[in-house]
Amino acid sequence: MASVTTTAVAAEREGAEVVTGAEECFRQSVELMRALGFPEGMMPLRELEECGLVRETGFVWMKQKAPYEHYFRGTGTRVRYDAEVTAFVEEGRMRRMTGVRSKQLMLWVPIVEMSLDGADRVYFKSNVGIGRPFPASALALRRRDRRRRRLPQRSRRRRQSVRRERCRRRCSHRRRRGQRVTDATDHGSDPAVVS
């Protein structure tokens, strides 16, 4: 039985354009998404070892070292990509997909088809025929390094604003009692005296 499936897989991959290496495979997957009309961030697989495309049949596969889980902030969904993702592709559509699952209501639902629903929406279909559309802008590729730089600044600003708010509450409480506020720690970095 294993030899039959191995033969079928080998037959599907016959005459394929194969690319190896993480950077080359990621670049190839982004170009494939762009050529099909999908947002570039649909397959955010960075640790790819091998990917291939058979142009005659539209069969595509992507192999990675280990399964990868990604959270799409724009849609609020978590998606799991198995060690091997396969599909048959054509303009605006990926069908007979394997290796992609989405977490919906505490269940991992296999995604078997993705298609473009107009220019600004992507429609995902499960193996039971139920589907759900998402805006294409929510699935766009984001720069990781820009996001890493902004997050610490936001959290630092948030901490500073929380400290200022706490200081205001303490100082206003002391002012009501008629006390002088002279401690520099109550005002953050400003050692001002409030009477």
Q: What is the CATH number of the domain that holds 118?
A: 2.30.240
Q: Work out the number of other CB atoms within 10 angstroms of the CB of residue 161.
A: 10
3-state SS, residue 182:
coil
Residue 103 within a domain: yes
Distance CA 12, CA 137 (A): 33
Residue 186 within a domain: no
Same domain, 166 and 74: no
Same domain, 79 and 165: no
Q: What share of the chain is helix, strand, coil (3-state, %, to 5)?
A: 35, 35, 25
Residue 65 within a domain: yes
Same domain, 64 and 113: yes
195 Cβ contact partners less than 8 Å away, ≥ 6 residues apart: 180
Q: Write down the pLDDT at residue 112.
A: 96
Q: Model confidence over 84-125: pLDDT tens digits?
A: 999 999 999 999 999 999 998 888 999 999 999 877 899 999
Q: Work out the number of other CB atoms within 10 angstroms of the CB of residue 112.
A: 19
User: Which of 78, 80, 79 lies closest to 67, judged by CA?
Assistant: 80
Distance CA 120, CA 47 (A): 28
Give the side-chain half-sphere CA count within 13 A for 165: 6
Distance CA 26, CA 44 (A): 8
Same domain, 8 and 102: yes
**Residue 100: beta bridge partners?**
81
3-state SS, residue 190:
coil
Boundary (domain end) residue, out of 93, 122, 141: 141
Q: Write down the pLDDT at residue 6.
A: 54
Give the side-chain half-sphere CA count within 13 A for 191: 2
Same domain, 29 and 124: yes
Distance CA 38, CA 59 (A): 17
Q: Write down the pLDDT at residue 191.
A: 52
Question: Is residue 19 very low, low, confident or very high in pLDDT (cuts 50, 70, 90)?
Answer: very high
Same domain, 77 and 45: yes
Same domain, 125 and 174: no
Q: How many domains does the chain have?
A: 2
State the residue range of the domain holding 84.
4-141
Structure tokens at 143: 């720069």
pLDDT at 152 over 90: no
Residue 52 within a domain: yes
Same domain, 137 and 147: no
Please indicate whether residue 32 or residue 147 has the higher confidence score (pLDDT).
32
